[in-house]
Every structure is written in C-alpha cells, then in structure tokens.
Chains A and B, each alone.
Chain A
Amino acid sequence: MKNLKKIESSLETIKNDIKEFYDPKIWGFLTLNGVCIDIETTQIQWIFAKYKAIDEIVMFYVDVKLSQTVPTITDIIPSAIISQREIVDMFGINIEDSQKGLYLDEDSLSTPLAGCGI
C-alpha cells in the first residue's frame, strides 16, 4: 500500500522510539493491533495517523513470542489502555499494567485469535 510506512523495532527499544516520535499536536494515535504469523509468534503493531495531511500513516511493529512481556505506553499516551486490554484478552500476550476481562468472562473460551484461529 502506497502511504503506509512500516518501521521495525524490538522489545527493548520500542518505548524510546515512540517517545521520540510522538508529538500530540501533530500525530494522532489510532490503535494497537496484533497479527498471527505462526503458532508461536504474534506481531504487535502501533499505528499513528497525521492530522491535516492526506492519508499519512506510520506503523511500528515487533515480533513477540508467548512467554515475553511487552512494555506499556500509557505514561506517554494515556488512551492506549483500552487497546492494550483488548490484545491481552484476544491473544494471551502479557502487557504490563493491563488486566484480562474486557470482553470475555472467566468461564468462556479464552484467547480466540491466538494460534491463527485453529
């Protein structure tokens, strides 16, 4: 896709990368997203869009395994808390300071999107 710019990062440097990049008056935070690559790996994406520009979108991405913990960005962007809670419910990945239970109850099917829907 023409206007989508993807930047690769790693678990240790992602928080610093976002802190240097983000300016609340120029960039608007859209959401977090998770894509299943294979049975053990999930790709987590942070998506931003520019105000007053036509279709300029930037995406940071990291490949994460099930046993690792992703750092939280709620001290830089307070409205990311709800997207982080959704990723914990749907994929089963650990994110700091985000609890389970946004959509699913305790006695229902858990992590429906993990493992490529099998």
Chain B
Amino acid sequence: MKKTITIPLGSQHISLLEPVKFRFVCENEKIIDVSSDVGFVHRGIERACATKFTFEKIPYVVARICGLCAITHSLCYTQAVENLLDGEVSLKAKYLRILLVELDRIHSHMLCLSHVSENAGFEAMFMQIMGDREYVMSLQEMITGNRVQFDYISIGGVNRDIDTNISSQIKKNLTIIKQKVYDYIEQFENNWSLSLKYKNIGKLSLDMAYQYNAIGPLARACGLETDVRSESAYLPYVDVGYKMITRSNGDIYDRNMVRLYEILNSIQMCENIVDGLPSGEIYTKLKGKPNGESLVRLEAPRGELMYYIKGSGKPLLDRVRIKTPTFSSIPAFIEVFKGSDYGDAPAILASFDPCMSCTAK
C-alpha cells in the first residue's frame, strides 16, 4: 500500500501571485520531494535581441522583461555596452541612476511585505502598505513621467534632470515614509499573528546557503555576506552611505527584518544624494560600435543580476545572455521545502519573493 500522496501547488492557486507549478510528494503532511515547472511566460527575448533589434534600441526591449525591476535590467545592459565604447559617463548621471534604483528597491520591498502580511491573514496591513506605496510611485512619476516603465536610461547618461521643486518634494515624501516604516517595524516585532509565529519556519542554514549559492536578501538573512553593491565599482555606492544588513537565523522572520532595515538604508541614501548632487552634464555622446566581450553585475531588489554581451563591430550584437536572480535561487527554494509542513508552503513561497517573468524570459 502506498504511503505517499502527491498534492499540487499548481499554476492556479488562491494565494499565488506568480505562474509557477510545484508538485509536492507528502507523507502525513510532511513534504518529502518536490518537482517544479517554470517557464509559463517564455517570450524569446534573447533571440530577439540578437536578430531583430540594433544595440541602441535594446535598453527599451529589455526593460519590458519585468515590471517590478524594469530599471535594473535597462541599467545593467547599458553599463555592459558602455564598457565597449569610448567615452566616460559624468558623475551627475551616475548619482541620478543610483537615486532611481534605490527608489525602485523601496517600492519592491514594500510589495513583498504586503504580500507576506496577506498570507498571514492580516489583510488590513496589506491595504495600508499598498496605500503608503503611493508616495513613492508619485515621486517616480514626477521624475520620469511614468509609474512603472521609466524609459529613463540611455547609452551615455540619463534623459531628464531634477530641479529644486522636485528635490523638495522628494524630501517631503521620504520623511513621511520613514515615520511609517518605523511603525511597521514595531508591528512586525511585537505582533504574534503577523510575524512572531514564523520564527524557525522555512529555515535555510549557513552551510546550505554556501552549497546552493544563495543570493540577495535570502542569503543575507542566513549570515552569508554577499552584496553586489560592495563587490562592484561601476557605481559610487560607498560615497553615498551604503551599509550591509545581515541576520543569522535564516527563517521567515529574519527575511522580513532584513527587508525592513534595507528600506531604511535606501531612504537615507536617497536623502544624501539629493543633498549632495554634483553639477555637470546629464548626457555625453559615446562613439563607436561594440566589439569584444563584456560582463557586468548589478544588485536588483531580489538578488544579483548579470549581463554578458558579445559584439563584433556591427550594429546587431552576436549574443546577449541574461541571468536573473530568481533563476539562481530556485534550487535553494526546493531544498527549503523538503522537511517542512504542507500548510506552511504558501507563506514560505511568499517570503522568497519570486518574480517569474524575469525567470522565464
């Protein structure tokens, strides 16, 4: 007589935001084995970038891979191409690029925290965090003209400048958000049904994180100190006030705390940029066509993003390879599921913060 039963957490489920399919093999409510299927939204972007679009149009194509991390894809590709052309990007353009990447990180972490509270049953907190996220979205609309797809980065600089009106509005909105984030930290630290019941659930130990190459907030919650913002020299993060935030336990409670403190650090960095913005041009024209190989990494809200391009002196590139953060974390997800209860599976999945349109490009 069979001892196990197969239960799907399928591509259609009430608490699932992303199209992913898991098949759990369970014995008496404990999960023993997992098989997964990603790739429901494959659109063939790598082939389109090598056959149909010239190298100047690709930042607009690649930004439409994902909605939440649109600007990180665009910026990472642009930095890889600027390595192969001659010319230098001005310091003011680099500071403006960091400003938008950090604003993007703030609203993406707020979306993940609201989804975690909805899974815990606290629907009022979900609506409150989504309402407070509007302060950040209206700032982005004021700077770039759009709430989600910015179209702000071009090869050689950025497209629009900020004036004194916009800077004072940025500081006003960020002060409001900072007070609200302190309230959230107090709720997440003291409320039993929201987050204290998740201690020691969905745990990933430090040895497993080394073995399965975990990245992003998932790794920093276990104690593995890895962050591309301190391992790369393309953007001046050290001058702006960046600090790495780690915890040591590796469960769902620690991942929430890492995200909350990263929002506070990003708010501090944005205020430093607006106070100390250097003067200069926002766009310089770079000459030539890309010839050779280039590899650049960048820290997206979910982990480490990598672009590899190869050109041979023509307007069409030979190869564009994209490695997204959720793609490398899938083996770590599958390892955490084994050994936990079936009833905790939606909460564990929401705390990983998967982005499936980035994975299946």
Contacts and interface: CB of A to CB of B under 8 A. Distances in A.
B50 interface: yes
Interface string B311-330: 00000001101010001101
Given A51-B231, A117-B47, A117-B51, A79 B212 contact: yes
Residue from B213, B215, B297, B360 whose CB has the most chain A CB atoms within 10 Å: B213
A39 to B, nearest CB: 14
A79 B310 contact: no
Interface in A40-98: 47, 49, 51-55, 57, 77-79, 81-82, 90
Contacts, number: 80
A33 to B, nearest CB: 5
Given A113-B46, A117-B47, A24 B310 contact: no
A21 to B, nearest CB: 15
Chain A interface bracket (under 10, 10 to 19, 20 to 34, 35 or more):
20 to 34
B83 A112 contact: no
Residue from A31, A36, A51, A57 whose CB has the most chain B CB atoms within 10 Å: A31
A1 B297 CA distance: 14
A116 B318 CA distance: 8
Nearest to B51: A117
A54 B294 CA distance: 16
A1 B51 CA distance: 24
Contact of B47 (A30, A55, A57, A112): A112
Given A25-B210, A79-B332, A81-B331, A35 B42 contact: no
A43 B149 CA distance: 35
B308 interface: yes
Contact of A28 (B38, B213, B295): B213
Contact of A78 (B44, B50, B215, B331): B331
Interface of A: 1, 4, 24-25, 28-31, 33, 35-36, 47, 49, 51-55, 57, 77-79, 81-82, 90, 102-104, 112-113, 116-117
The 8 nearest A-B residue pairs measured at CB: A79-B331, A103-B39, A103-B42, A24-B210, A31-B323, A117-B51, A112-B47, A79-B212
29 contacts: A1-B83, A1-B293, A24-B213, A28-B215, A30-B306, A30-B323, A30-B328, A33-B308, A33-B321, A35-B319, A36-B318, A36-B319, A47-B308, A52-B225, A54-B231, A54-B232, A54-B233, A55-B232, A57-B295, A78-B211, A79-B328, A79-B331, A82-B331, A102-B38, A102-B39, A103-B39, A103-B360, A112-B44, A113-B46
Interface of B: 38-39, 42, 44, 46-47, 50-51, 83, 210-213, 215, 225-226, 231-233, 292-295, 297, 306, 308, 310, 318-319, 321, 323, 327-328, 330-332, 360
